[in-house]
Structure 1
Amino acid sequence: MRPILVFALALTALILPLRPGSAQQLGVAQSAILTIETDRLFAESAFGRRTANEIEAESAVLAAENRRIEADLMAEEKDLTARRSEIAPDAFRTLADAFDEKVQSIRKAQDAKARALNQRADKARGEFLNTARPVLETLMRESGAGVILERSNVFLSANATDITDRAISRIDAAIGDGGKNGAIGDQ
């Protein structure tokens, strides 16, 4: 019985006519429940675009570094293979083991750099959502809503309840790209 009551209340909140007031004048839908697409909120905001551009540039640098390292290691391996016939088997085994250790060490270091980039992107997203929270709370108050749900978790809703575009606009106005002047997400 309780799930039916919750569903009925939610449905009623979505279909109630707009109440006159400041929220309607500001273009904010009057609804007890709002929806938002947080992935799009982040990706299309100035902050999200700046972060993506920075991560992409750093990824390109890392990829170039990986290609250079790979070429150096291939040349070193080729040289070691060419010298194999000139070196005693025990000495060659020692050189081959050292080379293998070097390769493993480099791989671990490069993997750590890639993980750090991913962690930085995740951290920036968390900082963005924390910083965006007051803007979202204001939109929620203006609409008379009691909750904002992730749109992908909602089975059916009116498009009027989606505040993603409005939130992007207001967040961009409040924090810009969060770069040097906004001091968010910078290292």
Structure 2
Amino acid sequence: MIKFHRLYFLLFIFFFFNINNSFGNDKIAIIDLDTVFNNSDFGQALLKDIEKLNQDNISKLTSIENELKKSEQNIKNKKNVISQNEFDKELASLKNKINDYRKLKKEMVDKIEQEKKIILKKFFKEINPIIQNYMEKNSINILLERKNVFIGKNNSDITITIINEINNKIKFK
């Protein structure tokens, strides 16, 4: 029985130490997609569109907010002059305007978020073939996002190269 256990033990040790290590020849590269989006000419043009829409929304909201503040101050000034019933009506009207303002603000924020999603989808649709082509030319098998990599060699980072490729291949209006 002891010899039988020794035989199993020896077979286990033999297989354990005889396992071949896999030394992959896959070339891996790293890319920072946020930097590509923010620093490529195409990405910056798309960001300008979002920023313009955002600035327009901010100016509209600021204008409405100023009107609401004026209305509130006007109601406060009239408080002791008008009847309680009139005051309550004006206060209810102001609350309705504030609710409308909040709804409009939420709609604008949702629209901006939706627009960002559309723009990001468009951006990645355009750059994907460029990145695929670059990977094929340079025999890169795996491309990892920078934020998902703890540490890597600097020569593995192809972010700047991809930005230059995008700037050369995508012409925008």
TM-score range, shorter chain: 0.7 to 0.9
- Native 8 Å contact 2:29 2:144 kept in 1: yes
The answer as to 2:163 corresponding to 1:159 is no
2:34 maps to which residue?
39
> Larger relative CO (CA 8 A, sep 6+): 1 or 2?
2
The count of residues paired between Structure 1 and Structure 2 equals 155
Q: Give the one of 50, 56, 66 matched to 1:55.
A: 50
Deviation at 1:58, TM superposition (A): 2.5
Larger Rg: 2
- Native 8 Å contact 1:51 1:121 kept in 2: no
2:97 maps to which residue?
102
2:133 maps to which residue?
138
Deviation at 1:94, TM superposition (A): 2.3
- Native 8 Å contact 2:68 2:97 kept in 1: no
TM-score by length of 2: 0.78
Spell out, residue by residue over 1:47-99, the C-alpha distance to the aligned partner (whole angstroms, 9 max, x if none). Answer: 11112222222222222222221221111112222222233323321221121
Q: For the residues of structure 1 that align with 2:129 and 2:49, how far apart are their CA atoms? A: 25
Task: Look up the SS of the partner of 1:157 in the other structure.
Answer: coil
Q: For the residues of structure 1 that align with 2:82 and 2:158, how far apart are their CA atoms? A: 71
Q: For the residues of structure 1 that align with 2:41 and 2:113, how far apart are their CA atoms? A: 19
Deviation at 1:111, TM superposition (A): 2.6
Runs of 4+ displaced beyond 3 Å: none
- Native 8 Å contact 1:51 1:124 kept in 2: yes
Q: Give the one of 62, 86, 107 matched to 1:67.
A: 62
Q: For the residues of structure 1 that align with 2:67 and 2:89, how far apart are their CA atoms? A: 20
Letter in 2 for 1:64: S
Spell out, residue by residue over 1:89-123, the C-alpha distance to the aligned partner (whole angstroms, 9 max, x if none). Answer: 23321221121011111121023113312321232
2:10 maps to which residue?
none
Question: Identity percentage over the alignment?
Answer: 23
- Native 8 Å contact 1:135 1:170 kept in 2: yes
Q: For the residues of structure 2 that align with 1:136 and 1:42, how far apart are their CA atoms? A: 13
Deviation at 1:136, TM superposition (A): 0.7
Deviation at 1:163, TM superposition (A): 1.4
2:81 maps to which residue?
86
Unaligned runs of 5+ in 1: 14-30, 180-187
Q: Report 1:106-117 matches (<5 A).
A: 106-117=101-112
